[in-house]
Amino acid sequence: MSRDLMYSDEIQELVVDAYQGLDAPGGPGTRFYTDEQLAAVPAGAAEWALGVGAPLAWADLGAGEAVADLGCGAGIDTLLAAALVAPTGWAVGVDFLPEMVERARAFAAQAGADNAEFHRAQMESLPLPNASVDVIISNGSINLSARKSRVLAEAYRVLRPGGRLCVTDLTIREEELPSEILTHPSAWAG
Ligand SMILES: C[S@@+](CC[C@H](N)C(=O)[O-])C[C@H]1O[C@@H](n2cnc3c(N)ncnc32)[C@H](O)[C@@H]1O
């Protein structure tokens, strides 16, 4: 586990700028999904797929489960999860950018996913009670946090005993990078 590094406010500002400035990203994350999954979500949700994998391939979701998606973006994984846990389960997506939350809510409405909800919040401070979800998923987002230990502590707090954490993300071995890169804020958003 990486230690929390310095410059966390500056890193967060760079991440915000990088993702707020996106326009028509073209679905770089769609290559990780099956044709059936892509057909099951609104076209806009696929266009805004920005992840680096497909965490649901390993999450083994079942009907009735509660799922939280950390750094959900426009919500492709949240929507797919909501369909897998329906009708009694629910999925909640959390993202700190209002633009992403608005997109995700619009795509959920298009999909008729009334068991999916989205909150504007930080992964480092989840708007969820203790021991309230069965599964946490996250796709390409935790790497962007300058406080990764805090994100994982929050995940542990909101998971029920026996819950699952299923993350697809970028990882790096700190010892393989020079410190001027490790401590350079723009390396985070990039
Ligand atoms: C690479 S995108 C991935 C989005 C989505 N998981 C997907 O697969 O399309 C990263 C997302 O994480 C969000 N994010 C980054 N840092 C965050 C934080 N500390 N708290 C909440 N959201 C964050 C960004 O706003 C962005 O929407």
44's enclosing H/E stretch is helix 43-47
pLDDT category of residue 16 using cuts at 50, 70 and 90: confident
pLDDT category of residue 185 using cuts at 50, 70 and 90: low
Mean pLDDT of the chain: 91
Ligand 1 center to 58 CA (angstroms)? 20
* Residues of the chain above pLDDT 90, percent: 75
Does residue 1 surpass a pLDDT of 50? no
Q: If we measure between CA atoms, which residue out of 43, 11, 9 comes closest to residue 27?
A: 43
Q: Is 19 exposed, middle or buried (0-12, 13-18, 19+ CB in 10 A)?
A: buried
Q: What is the pLDDT of residue 190?
A: 61
Ligand 1 center to 100 CA (angstroms)? 8
Q: What is the pLDDT of residue 7?
A: 59
Residues in contact with ligand 1 (CB, 6 Å cut-off)? 15, 19, 29, 49-51, 71-73, 76-77, 95-97, 100, 122-124, 139-141, 144-145
Does residue 139 surpass a pLDDT of 70? yes
Nearest ligand 1 atom to the CA of 74 is 9
Distance CA 46, CA 33 (A): 9
Residue 44, φ and ψ in degrees, nearest 5 = -65, -35
Segment of 101-105, 144-148, 174-178 carrying the highest mean pLDDT = 101-105
Q: Which domains does the chain have, with CATH numbers?
A: 8-189 (3.40.50.150)
Nearest ligand 1 atom to the CA of 77 is 8
Q: What is the pLDDT of residue 177?
A: 79
48-67 in b/e form (b: 16+ CB < 10 A) is: bbbbebbbbeebebeeebbb
Pocket test for ligand 1, best of 22, 79, 144 (most atoms within 8 A of CB): 144
Ligand 1 center to 126 CA (angstroms)? 13
Give the least confident one: 18-22, 128-132, 152-156, 184-188: 184-188
